Amino acid sequence: MAFKSVLYAPTEQELCEKFHTLTALTAFDDNARCGQYFDSLWACKEDWAFAYRAGLPLRRSNTTNYIEVAFRILKDCVFDRVMDGTHELNYYLAVIFSLRKLKRELELLVVVFRKLN
C-alpha cells in the first residue's frame, strides 16, 4: 500500500481506513520515527487529503498546478524576453509580486472555505 492511495482517498471514511491499513504495516514497527512522522501528517490531514479538498472552488484542479504553470510561463516566456532586452524588468517584477499576492489570497480563500464548511 502506498501513501498515494491515502492522499487521494475520495471520502473521509476511506481515508481513515487506508491510513490505518498503511500504518499497520510492519515497517512502522521497525522504525519509530516513521510512525511519528505519519502521526504528525495525520494531525493535519485536512490540509493535504483529497477527501477534504474535493469541494473547494479550484476549477477542477486539486493541486497547486495552476500556480506552478503560471510561474513556469513566467520563467520560460517572460524572463527570456527580459534577458533579450526587449522588455523592462520592473514591469515583470510587478507582475510577479501581483501573482504572489494572488496566491496568498487564494490560500486565504481556501482557509475561509474550510471554516464555513
CA dist 39 and 100 (Å) reads: 31
Long-range own/partner contacts, residues 101-105 (CB < 8 A, 24 or more apart): 103/67
* 53 residue type, one letter: R
Q: Output the nine-digit C-alpha cell for 106.
A: 487564494
pLDDT > 90: percent of the chain: 7
pLDDT digits (tens, 9 = 90+) for 41-87: 899 888 888 888 766 665 555 555 667 767 777 677 666 666 666 66
pTM attached to this predicted model: 0.49
Name, in order, each residue with C-beta under 8 angstroms of 12's C-beta and a sequence gap of 6 or more: 51, 52
Q: Which pLDDT score, from 0 to 100, does residue 14 have?
A: 93
